[in-house]
Amino acid sequence: MTGPDPLYFQSEMQDALRIAVNRIGTPSYVYFVDRIRSRIEELHTAFGRRFQISYAVKANPNAALLRLLKSEIELLDVSSGGELNLALGSGYNAEQLSFSGPGKSVPELQLAVSSGCSKIIVESTSELEDLDALCAADGRSISVLLRVNPQKVPRGFGVNMSGRPSQFGVDEEELADLFRSASRLKHVSIAGLHIYAGTQCLDSEAIVENFGNYIDIFRTYAPMCAGALSDVIFGSGIGIPYHDRDEPVNLFDIAKHVNPMLDEMRRDHHLHNVNCILEIGRLLVGEAGYFLTRVLRKKESRGKNIRILDGGMNCHLAACGHFGTMIPRNYRMFRLPISKSPGHSTEQMKSYELFGPLCTTIDQLGRAVELPTLDVGDVIAIACSGAYGASASPINFISHGPPREAVVEYGAGELLIHDVTGV
């Protein structure tokens, strides 16, 4: 059974979704930019501006969103030449960019160097050597950050990228050797460390413990850098409440423990002036987005109420449970009331099996979902869809075309709908 998104009961949000659906149709994504802005503000308040916030573009590369958030987002993390060009084209400057990713090609490294990307995050020895050769040929010297693959990650992370053989970063136990060999390179020096150990964690204690592990690693290896460390990047790993019974984390509870740890870290003279960066994807944009899909067909099959929707796995792979999860679980969802309706519905709920339009059994958006009566033409809104939605889905499979995407915000008391794509 799936509970509604907490904002379901805010009629203003429902009205906004209804206006958007009438204007842009379905299947579609609607992103509330004001909610992203308040999340950024909440982070700054909780951590007392100890961190610069870096947004991981992979979570949602929507160009209108990037443009509208330009004055609030200090840094962007890109993971391909395409994302780098998108960031520059959206008005961010190269000083604001970090470039992570285990498989950067030489042309992508060249692009990063020539565009002046300020934080290239090196994930392997061979990448470091390629960069050195490339800079030697160009007659320049650069400093880079090194991504560390830590030995341990606390339990509680939905996706765990560390503590085992991994394509991400350099194994913690190899770091001392790597620093020694890096000191022989003439054109590249290591000036920062980056760790992203795991993600989708809703356990505050595990998040605090993970930050503590990061700090231990930064303190151990900072003295091995040729000069002072300029930046340390904390991959946040903080999750969002996709499913019924998921409790959102309280950022202030986390910050209460992390802030003194950061202050203590800075008492270490190697890290006294270091710039602390918090790298975040889903926590910024996930809860700000809704996926809207309309009932195309209804039928019963062997005692089950089946509904077929106009967008499924082709538009929203993650909500079907095929993106970073072992067992599919329903996202929070609700039926969008057709007309203005305040608060709770008194309609009787029924159990539905919700499928997308594709000819594959895995195209299922909901299992035994409790919803009011669903008729052809009704629209379902799926919450927590602002991250890893359209861009993380097999949009070309069976050629239904891309979902529409709209960024909305409230301006002068009115809902503004920006740059609709996919029409």
Binding site for ligand PLP (CB under 6 A): 56, 59, 77, 100, 196, 199-200, 235-236, 279-283, 387
Nearer residue to ligand PLP within complex by CB, 289 or 337 = 289
| 105/82 Cα distance (integer angstroms) | 12
Tell me whether residue 90 or residue 100 sits nearer to ligand PLP (CB atom). Answer: 100
Q: Smallest distance from the beta carbon of 107 to ligand PLP, in angstroms?
A: 21
CB 128 within 8 A of CB 183: no
SS3 157: strand
* Nearest distance from C-beta of residue 366 to ligand PLP, angstroms: 23
Closer CB to ligand PLP, residue 286 or residue 366? 286
Smallest gap from residue 350 Cβ to ligand PLP (A) = 34
As measured in angstroms, the least distance from the Cβ of 99 to ligand PLP is 10
Q: At 162, phi and psi to the nearest 5? A: -130, -175
Nearer to ligand PLP, 172 or 279 (CB): 279
DSSP characters over 36-84? HHHHHHHHHHHTTT-SEEEEEGGG---HHHHHHTTTT--EEEE-SHHHH
Q: Smaller CB distance to ligand PLP: residue 197 or 313? A: 197
* Radius of gyration of the chain measured on its C-alpha atoms: 23
Residue number with CB closer to ligand PLP (146 or 371): 146
Min dist. Cβ of residue 169 to ligand PLP (A): 9
Q: Tell whether omega for the bond before 107 is within 30 degrees of 0, i.e. cis.
A: no
User: Nearer to ligand PLP by C-beta: 90 or 305?
Assistant: 90
Instruction: Please state the closest distance from residue 80 (CB atom) to ligand PLP, in A.
Output: 12
Question: Least separation, in Å, of the C-beta of 121 and ligand PLP?
Answer: 8
C-beta separation of 400 from 25 below 8 A: no
Q: Are 376 and 295 in contact (CB under 8 A)?
A: yes
Q: How far is the CB of 51 from ligand PLP (least distance, A)?
A: 14
Closest CA to 243 of 313, 342, 329: 329
In the complex, least distance from residue 6 CB atom to ligand PLP, rounded to whole angstroms: 20
State the alpha helices, DSSP H only, in 321-416: none
The answer to whether 88 touches 315, Cβ cutoff 8 Å, is: no
Cα–Cα distance for residue pair 297/275, rounded to 1 Å: 54
Nearest to ligand PLP of 123, 130 (CB atom): 123
For ligand PLP, the closer of residues 35 and 282 by Cβ is: 282
Tell me how far apart the alpha carbons of residues 202 and 241 are, in angstroms, rounded to a whole number. 8
| Nearest in space to 101 (alpha carbons), one of 37, 169, 33 | 169
Enumerate the H helices of 163-295 as residue ranges: 175-182, 204-221, 251-266, 282-285
Percentages of the chain per state (helix, strand, coil), in multiples of 5: 35, 30, 40
Which residue's Cβ lies closest to ligand PLP? Answer: 281
